Amino acid sequence: MVKVVSVKFNPHGKAYYFDPNGIEVHSGDTLIVETSKGLDIGECAYGEHYVTDESIIAPLRPVIRAATEEDLRIAEQNKEREKEAFVICRDKIAAHGLDMKLVDVECGFEGNKILFFFTADGRVDFRDLVKDLAAVFRTRIELRQIGVRDETKMLGGLGICGRPYCCNQFLNDFQPVSTKMAKTQSMSLNPTKISGSCGRLMCCLRYEQDAYEDLVKKIPKTGSFVQTPFGYGSVTAANVLRQKVKVLIDNEREQEFKVLDADEVAVVPGGRPKSGDPLPNVLIEKVKIIEETPVSAADPWEAPSLFAEETDGSVQKKRTQENAPSQGPRSGFESRGQEQTGQRHSNSGEKPHPQHNTRPADQRGNPQGGRPAPKAAQQGKAPTVPQQNNAENANKSSNHKRNRQRHFNRPKPQSEGQSKE
């Protein structure tokens, strides 16, 4: 393992390894490093870390120093010089009538070289152009032809997905892309749909291929004969990313479609059996086990609750109040109903039935929800009752006996289900 730092010379360029040379380097620092073409300035993309010996291309060049204010001033001057060189070179190309497109210009940190990048359909004879540029800038001139994918990577832009180009954001190397990848990912084979701004197949087809190959193995193919919890059927559509399939259930009455998860269906080996052959049972019911997650410690960054939580004492008190019988005053409707019942019994001379106007006594001897008993009753003494005339008592007792006989001698009503005699 070798200790290195990663340095980028362009935001869209590749990161190269350099020896930190005992200098403390952090990500984002501007450094002066030694290259095969002299000193150059770059930005640290990744601080000190270790890599294997096989990933290093010898020789491993060192970091010279951290960039000073003078170095930053020189870098700003080179950027202004690049803009001027781009305009001059573009005019020279038009003057010579060359079939080439200028893309970008880079000036060396030491000012001893200017590099021009261009694209062209074929080979271009630019020897006269190089002579004219050397006479203007009085330095070494280099012209480099690049492809359309490199051009898009340098210029940048937004793709059809609405995000910046992958090659400009994080891809370092270009890998081959084929139309087979588009088929695996269930994409349209229309060239305008699967091609990028460079005119080549989109790079995302390549680095997403591994994920799609793994997902395709877990989902039935379109047209396969499967068994579902609703019966047997055929897969008419499949969504690889959502892992869902649309199944046409075998039903003689009407067409019935079901959208199920890939785990809820099982492919019948050999496809649909012949008529008369038994249908195999290949569906295995999977029981989902819900694992109890251990209670973790309180998170200091957790958002506060919007509702006040009740303590154990308040909860217990609330439960006691809910379970306890109500001892408050009765509603007006209930009291009026009981008064009417008592009045009806008093008018008829009958004794009220205990289930209609009595309530279970509480621990103190009072009816629930009623008024407290008189003091004499609480002390164990019988309450005083005013004396009445003997004639009135005799009339009441005789009326009571007569009404009681009428009540019990009354014929019982027959229910609807009983047959009449």
**3-class SS string, 39-99:** EEEEEEEEEEEEECHHHCCCCCCEEEEECCHHHHHHHHHHHHHHHHHHHHHHHHHHHHCCC
Output the DSSP codes for 241-306: TTTEEEEEE--SSS-EEEEEEGGG-EEPTTSSPPTTSPPP----PPPPP-PPPPPPPPPTTSPPPS
Residue 400 is predicted with a pLDDT of: 64
Higher pLDDT: 370 or 22? It is 22
Higher pLDDT: 149 or 326? It is 149
Q: In the CATH scheme, what architecture does the domain 219-280 have?
A: Roll (2.30)
* Per-residue pLDDT tens over the stretch 229-284: 888 999 999 988 889 999 999 887 788 899 999 888 999 888 888 888 888 888 87
Percent with pLDDT over 90 in the chain? 14
- pLDDT(9) > 70: yes
Q: Mean of the pLDDT values across residues 31-42? A: 87
Task: Tell me the sheet residues that pair with 256.
Answer: 249
Residue 420 is predicted with a pLDDT of: 43
Q: Residue 293 and residue 70: Cα distance in Å, rounded?
A: 59
88 band by pLDDT with thresholds 50, 70 and 90: very high
Q: Residue 73 and residue 89: Cα distance in Å, rounded?
A: 24
366 band by pLDDT with thresholds 50, 70 and 90: very low
Buried b (16+ CB within 10 A) or exposed e, 157-195: eebeeeeebbbbeebeeeeebeeebbebbeeeeeeeebe
What would you report as the CA-atom Rg of the chain, rounded to the nearest whole angstrom?
Answer: 47
Q: Could you identify the residue written with the tokens 């009455």?
A: 253
Q: Mean of the pLDDT values across residues 20-47? A: 87
* Per-residue pLDDT tens over the stretch 324-333: 444 444 444 4
- pLDDT(409) > 80: no
Phi-psi region of 241 (alpha: psi -120 to 50; beta: other; left: phi over 0): alpha
The reply to whether domains 75-146 and 219-280 share a CATH topology is: no
347 band by pLDDT with thresholds 50, 70 and 90: very low
Distances from the Cα of 181 to the Cαs of 195, 399, 409, in angstroms? 13, 105, 98
75-146: in CATH 3.30.300 = yes
Q: Mean of the pLDDT values across residues 198-224? A: 89
Closest CA to 234 of 243, 222, 244, 217: 222
304 band by pLDDT with thresholds 50, 70 and 90: low
Q: What residue segments make up the domains of the chain, in order of their start?
A: 2-67, 75-146, 166-216, 219-280
